Amino acid sequence: MTTVTARTVHLLRRPDGFPTSDLFAFRERELAPPGEGEALVENLYLSVDPYMRQLMDGGWPLDAPLGRGRALGRVVASRAAGLAEGDIVFHTGGWSTHALVEPGTARAVEPAPGVPLAAYLSVLGGTGLTAYAGMRSVLDVRPGESVYVSAAAGAVGGVAGQIARLLGAERVLGSAGSAAKVAHVTERLGFTAAYDYREGGLAGWLAEQAPEGLDATLDGVGGDHLEAAIGAAKEFGRIAWVGAISQYHSAANPPAAPRNLYAVSDRSLHLRGYQVRHHMHLREEAEEWLVPHLVEGRIALDHTVVDGFDSLIDAFLGVLRGDNLGKMLVRLDAAGNEA
Ligand SMILES: NC(=O)c1ccc[n+]([C@@H]2O[C@H](COP(=O)([O-])OP(=O)(O)OC[C@H]3O[C@@H](n4cnc5c(N)ncnc54)[C@H](OP(=O)(O)O)[C@@H]3O)[C@@H](O)[C@H]2O)c1
């Protein structure tokens, strides 16, 4: 086999505030044929995620191919035991059309009957696992509870709210950034009620919707959303703090912490941060639990798919802007019309 020309993306400069497309450049690089123990993968789907905004501040090197991104691809040549040509694999090789992987860095994926491949980067991927770990392990949501989820129309939030409903929560409340998203969250994802936070008054809305207080919150927005969740929590309420997307563009001048932090003590709240990487042991359990709900339609598959490697940067900036409903994915030419 000869070398393959892979398309990649480089970061040219670090952002100052909200990132712009001119900070990135598309590049090409030659990949040698797989060496002993390696397999060459042609990517089908790439994930674009908010944590990459944090990588732009330091985790990603400048002017080098951008790794540390989740992808699904097909093995096109292999010298690795356990990875055969034609296998579909999940790996974290990042933003490239092709990747050289090893069995330790790539996992074979065999989609369950009735489950589209792309689901393995969304509800059955890292964001779905984040939602599952949050609802089941960190918050341990119980029947009859009142639950609030921020960024509810997004990848983690949408799945988290649906899991809370399936766990028997009596009220599943969500917030999102437009009237269309509010309708999506209630009509398609089955949240009890949702609110467009851009109207202001989120704290008041939560107090109205859950007059006896919230039992559990999953917050990925931080700032005023976390403050509203603390304000609306009942005594002994639990808050899983998974992210702070409202603050990712202000590294040099972070906004103040929630002004009502003392309520955590005053009402004996349980405020816990978590990272999905500390819950990888739940991956198989989550998949077993989620697949029947997906196949039987109790969990809606919620994706925004953009086509083509050239659309990658716009898709990434789109997640940060809120252009997505559900998980934002980039489908590459090699995926054809695969759902
Ligand atoms: N700790 C972990 O292991 C882990 C794992 C996965 C994700 N996360 C975190 O969870 C959060 C959601 O991630 P995701 O992958 O599910 O992304 P996502 O929700 O699919 O996309 C991000 C959403 O954030 C919302 N947003 C952007 N700026 C905002 C602002 N200033 N205020 C309120 N909402 C804003 C946008 O929706 P609107 O239109 O509604 O504003 C956008 O669609 C992020 O903070 C992410 O870093 C953490």
**Residue 271: strand, helix, or coil:** strand
Q: Sort strands 39-47 and 24-31 into parallel, antiparallel or unpaired.
A: unpaired
Strands 88-91 and 71-78: antiparallel
239 pLDDT higher than 60: yes
The pLDDT tens digits of the residues spanning 142-183 come to: 999 999 999 999 999 999 999 999 999 999 999 999 999 999
The answer on pLDDT for 285 being more than 60 is yes
pLDDT on residue 145: 98
DSSP alpha helix (H) spans, 121-273: 126-132, 155-166, 179-187, 202-209, 223-232, 262-266
Nearest CA to ligand 1 atom 22: 319
Predicted pLDDT at 337? 61
Alpha-carbon gap, residue 222 to 146, rounded angstroms: 20
Longest dimension (CA), the chain: 66
Tens digit of each residue's pLDDT (9 = 90 or more) over 96-106: 999 999 988 89
Of the candidates 170, 274, 268, 266, which has an alpha carbon nearest to the alpha carbon of residue 219?
274
Residue 225 CA, ligand 1 centroid: distance in Å: 12
Nearest to 217 by CA among 270, 274, 148: 148
Residue 90: band (very low, low, confident or very high) from pLDDT cuts 50, 70, 90:
very high
pLDDT of residue 3: 92
Atom of ligand 1 nearest to the CA of 326: 20
pLDDT band at residue 271, thresholds of 50, 70 and 90?
very high
The rounded mean pLDDT for the chain is 96
Q: Is 71 exposed, middle or buried (0-12, 13-18, 19+ CB in 10 A)?
A: buried
- Cα(319) to centroid of ligand 1, in Å? 8
Which pTM value belongs to this model? 0.97
Q: Over pLDDT 90: what percentage of the chain?
A: 94
327 close to 151: Cβ distance less than 8 angstroms: no
pLDDT of residue 335: 81
**Tens-digit pLDDT profile for residues 296-331:** 999 999 999 999 999 999 999 999 999 999 999 999
Does residue 85 carry a pLDDT above 90?
A: yes
Residue 261: count other Cβ atoms within 10 Å of its Cβ.
15
Taking phi over 0 as left and psi of -120 to 50 as alpha, with beta for the rest, 140 belongs to left
What pLDDT shows up at residue 254? 64
Sheet holding 270-273, edge to edge: 193-196, 171-176, 146-149, 214-219, 233-241, 270-273
pLDDT tens digit sequence for 43-63: 999 999 999 999 999 999 999
Residues with CB under 6 A from ligand 1: 49-51, 127, 130, 151, 153-157, 176-178, 181, 220-221, 242-246, 275-276, 319, 322, 324
Find the 36 Cα to ligand 1 centroid distance in Å.
40
Q: How far does the centroid of ligand 1 lie from the alpha carbon of residue 152, in Å? A: 9
Q: Is residue 136 pLDDT above 60, yes or no? A: yes
> What contacts 64, CB < 8 A, 6 or more positions away?
10
Cα(114) to ligand 1 centroid in Å equals 28
31 forms beta bridges with 4
- Residue 334 pLDDT level (bands cut at 50, 70, 90): confident
Residue nearest to atom 29 of ligand 1 (CA): 246
